[in-house]
Chain A
Amino acid sequence: SAVISQKPSRDICQRGTSLTIQCQVDSQVTMMFWYRQQPGQSLTLIATANQGSEATYESGFVIDKFPISRPNLTFSTLTVSNMSPEDSSIYLCSGRQGGMNTEAFFGQGTRLTVV
């Protein structure tokens, strides 16, 4: 499967600021996704990043808080805006080549702490 490079791997941010997380895939992928993993919890899908159009957000997540870009088939960014301590989580990007019978592969994650 393809390899995703995600950065930064971790950051400590002040409340009220924003952080942009980048994911670069080493080959073109059909689908990209952004997940949040709160401490000791499972993965919750934030949104599907659509190439050349607005992302598709899951219930409970909004574009103003988590703007996403996907300018091409190998790159995506997630911004966590106006951060609060409740945003402290691991954020993971994922790619999938498309089709129900393909697996998803993941970046290493970004561990975000908001103080």
Chain B
Amino acid sequence: NAGVTQTPKFRILKIGQSMTLQCAQDMNHNYMYWYRQDPGMGLKLIYYSVGAGITDKGEVPNGYNVSRSTTEDFPLRLELAAPSQTSVYFCASSWGRDTDTQYFGPGTRLTVL
């Protein structure tokens, strides 16, 4: 099993550009999450999904959108990139609810200039 995969690993965007961060898991997990991690701030939840077709906002959803058309994929869309979105983005998945172990992808390091 590949586990949780993310692409790209690194990306530099100009202010106002858009992009999609890809995330896929092959563990047949129902729950998937997007976090951002900034120095000294810990992991912050952006969006999560409890199954195909079902998504909900986390703590810091502004400026982002998600979709979940399949169990495997959970892309994160950035519209009109801003410098405040410079961060490391982690995708994670778990079998069930919040008390289940989360498995993280390797991360995408995004810089907006």
Tell me whether A and B are bound partners.
no
User: Chain B residues in contact with chain A, CB under 8 A?
Assistant: none
User: Chain A residues in contact with chain B, CB under 8 A?
Assistant: none
